[in-house]
Amino acid sequence: MSIPSNKAYLLDIVEELNKYWPENRTINIVSHGHSVPAGYFATPVVDTLNAYPHLLHRELKKKYPYAVVNVIVTAIGGESSCKGLQRFEREVLCFRPDVITIDYGLNDRRIGLEAARESWSGMIRKSLELGIKVLLLTPTMDKRGFRDETAEGWVILKKHCEQIRLLADEFGVGLVDSFKAFEEYIDNIGSIEELMSFDNHPNRRGHELVAREIMKWF
């Protein structure tokens, strides 16, 4: 499969979002993952209203004022995709989502590429079996070892990015390339410090970049 185009993949969801009462229905978007979508900024502060799921919700309502849309966060700080898969049916699919975003790249460095691939694949398959659209997110950045090709953490992070891109291609689901958006900002606009609130947590500006990338699909 090839990665679907932005216009085609969520076309049916966009059509629903454009409907208004009494023809519309509730659209549920679930944001699944680790501390970043959970809203952790400088740990232990959880700044929900400045994290990308909330920013996404605001942007969707600006664009689709007639829509009834929920953005539901099922993310848990410190969690890897292995744990995310274990609770996927009871804590994610239970919301009967129309779209699921998956964001575990930062923490999956602890479990390795093979285990991460198995876990992401499991969540994707469970979603597709139910006709749910999936958007895979590459990780936001980590200041530790930033762009040091001799630093193991940085090299592994880039490998997880590539694996997530390949999974999106393999399963024909959507890709939100947060890592690339951060790189483009740093190369063309500012520094990594301007995007981060903690070593591995973005600040409001970093979350805005992620929300903007997700909105491209809508």
The pLDDT value recorded for residue 1 is 44
- C-alpha dihedral, 113 to 119 to 123 to 128, nearest 10°: 60
What pLDDT sits at residue 168?
Answer: 98
Average pLDDT value for residue range 103-108: 98
Mean pLDDT of 142-159: 94
Per-residue pLDDT at 21 exceeds 90: yes
Percentage of the chain modeled with pLDDT above 90: 96
Range in 85-99, 118-132, 139-153 with the lowest mean pLDDT: 139-153
Give pLDDT tens digits for 47-76: 999 999 999 999 999 999 999 999 999 999
Walk me through the domains of the chain, giving residue ranges and CATH numbers: 6-215 (3.40.50.1110)
Reading the block at residue 78, the tokens are 């410190």
Tens digit of each residue's pLDDT (9 = 90 or more) over 192-201: 999 999 999 9
Helix then strand count (H, E) for the chain reads 10, 5
Which residues make Cβ contacts (< 8 Å) with residue 79, sequence separation at least 6? 33, 34, 104, 107
Place of tokens 């079996």: 129
Task: Report in angstroms the alpha-carbon separations of 22 from 15, 68, 98.
Answer: 14, 11, 19
Where residue 2 falls among pLDDT bands split at 50, 70, 90?
A: very low
